[in-house]
Amino acid sequence: MKILVIAEKELKEYILKPGSISWGIIFPLVFTLAFAVRFGDVDHLAPGLMSISILFGTTSFVSSSIIFERRLRTFERLLVAPVKRVEIVGAKILVGTLFGLFVGAVSFLILRLFMAYRVWNPLLLITFMFVSGTAFSGLALWVSLRVENPINAMTWLNLIRLPMIFTSGAIVSLLLFPHWFIVVGLITPMTYAVDGMRYAMLGYYDVINPIYDLLVTVLLSMLFTYLSVEELRRLY
Amino acid sequence: MEEGAVVAEGLTKRYGDFTAVDGINLTVKRGEIYGLLGPNGAGKTTTVRMLTTLTQITSGNAWVNGYSVREEPLLVKRSIGLVPDVSNLYDELTVEENLLFAARLYNAPIERVRELIREFDLPANKKFGKLSSGFKRRTTIAAALVHRPEVLFMDEPTTALDVSSARNVRNLIRLLNKEGITVFITTHNMIDAESLPHRIGIIKEGKIIAEGKGRELKELMGKGMVVKLLVEPITSKLINEIEAYSPTFDEGFIVVTVEDVDEFLEELFDLKMRLGFKVKRISTELPTIEDVFVELTERNGCSCGGCPL
Ligand SMILES: Nc1ncnc2c1ncn2[C@@H]1O[C@H](COP(=O)(O)OP(=O)(O)OP(=O)(O)O)[C@@H](O)[C@H]1O
Ligand SMILES: [Mg+2]
């Protein structure tokens, strides 16, 4: 499998690009810190804030790497090599996920300072962080390949990820909104990540059974992988 | 399976209504250097991109090393190297890291990287983005060779290089070809076209309008000599009179191909008497690939480049 070879190269090349640093590290960590300091109930907020960190970490990293590669034409280095499309997509998603996990972990360390309880199930938490990372990376990859002009990818991503902060119940539980809003929550991919992480950290769930959270998030990862492979097929 | 290192049959690429490459047929023999020569926008890059699986073929098909580009793209990819018009290496990685990455992508042995760095005399630890254009091109060529491809595609390999770097690259191409690699180059550089390829295809508006050995292409111009004239003033009357020679224009010179120089001079002298222009300079040369190229790609009423009227 060439996934690891490509992934290693990507990490070397893109970790210090401005796109991944500003939107991928600084924004989510400042966001986390602001909420942690301002609001009391950090234990209940932590899963949402960590999801936001993972969301921004993964999507910023993935889209900035694909934007650079397509613009500089280095992307064609991969396309002309005997590598399957799914391996290229897999590598992009893997590095995005690793980057997102890193941002999520830093976010957790900040939140840990303000939390009253211990994490209920650390292993489940890591599992949820990982599958959320793959789903978000896949989403970002698909959107970045889909947009005609790669420079617009960040704008499109913000149109998707900023509303998701609210419609996923990351900050305010979906149960506090009018009933119809739950429908909006259920069609937001990030809802399942937030809900699953909340269960892993606190041991109870708001809306959805965590089994479904896991299932939906894994299915979303597969869906976006598939869509990205198809998009590559269409583009080249 | 088709004979030949590269075979294209009715190869076509359309972007919407626009046909960039229009039903190209060509065969590149094993061990040959084939040059695709054409003006800007003729479809050279698009042809290379189709042959190297980088862009979908709209219709027709091509075979590289006997593998169908449409049906067996992975086998095609494994047996070719590509030096694109814009380098595809990573600025942030060093020369060595770039080559190592290429080696891993192709499952080539790691020793091959050291070998290429030595052979190509490359600065291993310098970041690719910091290299001069000449070294960038050399490194890009080296990276295309890590897996010892049988066919090497090069899109304008000497463009944007200074005279000595361009000469270096040409020597390199000859050397690689001697080692048995089939080379497919595109160019609009006349020095490349004159000295590198065993055979040349001239492409214009997506179609191959002539193909053959350099000598054969020159014979298309007839057995004639190329006469270059600088006269003053150039009038439409004069141009009408010599229309039979289908003149082209090059930096103020009138360029015609004639079978019989003596006869042409007689006629010119006669015209000079009648129209009263002055002949400032005159030269006769054997036709070059450039003459053939200009003849075939620019001849089209007065759309020819540099027509003074
Ligand atoms: N992706 C694309 N979409 C639309 N048109 C395209 C695309 N790529 C190329 N073309 C058009 O196809 C034609 C052939 O382009 P191509 O790049 O193959 O020419 P070329 O012979 O390589 O020219 P040059 O010498 O400038 O490199 C041009 O008119 C170009 O504008
Ligand atoms: Mg070109």
A–B CB contacts, 8 A cutoff, strictly below: 59
Among chain A residues, CA nearest to B85: A73
- Ligand 2 centroid to residue B88 C-alpha, Å: 15
pLDDT tens for B31-79 read 999 999 999 999 999 999 999 999 999 999 999 999 999 999 999 999 9
Is residue B135 within 8 Å of B123, Cβ to Cβ? Answer: yes
Given a cut of 50, is residue B304 above it in pLDDT? no
Given a cut of 70, is residue B302 above it in pLDDT? no
| Cα separation, A204 vs A194, whole angstroms | 12
Q: B41 CB under 6 A from ligand 1?
A: yes
Among chain B residues, CA nearest to A65: B90
Q: What is the DSSP secondary structure assignment for residue A84, as one 8-state letter?
A: -
- Ligand 2 centroid to residue B304 C-alpha, Å: 21
- pLDDT at residue number A149: 78
Q: Which residue has the higher pLDDT, B144 or A25?
A: B144
Choose the closest CB to A73 out of B88, B92, B104. Answer: B88
Is residue A207 within 8 Å of A182, Cβ to Cβ? Answer: yes
pLDDT band at B1 (very low <50, low <70, confident <90, very high): very low
pLDDT tens for B246-266 read 888 888 899 998 888 899 999
Q: B20 CB under 6 A from ligand 1?
A: yes
B84 touches chain A (CB under 8 A): yes
Q: B300 CB under 6 A from ligand 1?
A: no
Number of folded domains that form chain A = 1
| Cα separation, A59 vs A161, whole angstroms | 9
Write down all domains in chain B, each with its CATH number in brackets. 6-218 (3.40.50.300), 225-285 (3.30.70)
- pLDDT at residue number B216: 87
Chain A neighbors of B52, CB-CB under 8 A: 80
Given a cut of 60, is residue B308 above it in pLDDT? no
Class of residue A194 by CB neighbours under 10 A (exposed 0-12, middle 13-18, buried 19+):
buried
pLDDT band at B300 (very low <50, low <70, confident <90, very high): low
Report the nearest atom of ligand 1 relative to the CA of B42: 21
In chain A, the largest separation of any two C-alpha atoms, in whole Å, equals 54
Mean pLDDT, residues A137-145: 96
- pLDDT at residue number B259: 84
The verdict on a CB contact (< 8 Å) between B84 and A82 is no
pLDDT tens for A194-228 read 999 999 999 988 778 999 999 999 999 999 999 99
Is residue B80 within 8 Å of B54, Cβ to Cβ? Answer: no
Q: Which residue segment(s) compose the domain that A181 sits in?
A: 2-235
Pocket probe mutation, ligand 1, options B13, B22, B44, B82, max atoms within 8 Å of Cβ: B44
Within a 13 Å sphere around the CA of A53, how many CA atoms are in the beta-carbon half? 31
pLDDT tens for B67-115 read 999 999 999 999 999 999 999 999 999 999 999 999 999 999 999 999 9
| Cα separation, B267 vs B285, whole angstroms | 19
**Residue percentage of chain B with pLDDT more than 70:** 96
- pLDDT at residue number A101: 95
Tokens 């957790």 correspond to what residue?
A: A108
Out of A175-189, B22-36, B218-232, B272-286, which region has the weakest mean confidence (pLDDT)? B218-232
Chain A neighbors of B56, CB-CB under 8 A: 236
Choose the closest CB to A73 out of B56, B78, B84. Answer: B84
- From A12's Cα to the closest Cα of chain B, the distance in A is 8
Is residue B299 within 8 Å of B246, Cβ to Cβ? Answer: yes
Q: Which of B37, B65, B88 is nearest to B180 (CA)?
A: B65
Chain B neighbors of A76, CB-CB under 8 A: 54, 84, 88
Is residue B47 within 8 Å of B11, Cβ to Cβ? Answer: yes
pLDDT tens for B199-217 read 999 999 999 999 999 888 8
pLDDT tens for B224-237 read 788 999 999 988 89
Q: Collapsing DSSP states into helix, strand and coil, what is residue A173?
A: coil
Mean pLDDT across chain A, nearest whole number? 90
- pLDDT at residue number A151: 73
Given a cut of 90, is residue B305 above it in pLDDT? no
- From A90's Cα to the closest Cα of chain B, the distance in A is 15
Q: B42 CB under 6 A from ligand 1?
A: yes
- pLDDT at residue number A171: 87
Given a cut of 60, is residue A158 above it in pLDDT? yes
Mean pLDDT, residues B158-172: 93
pLDDT tens for A72-117 read 899 999 999 999 999 999 999 999 999 999 999 999 999 988 888 8
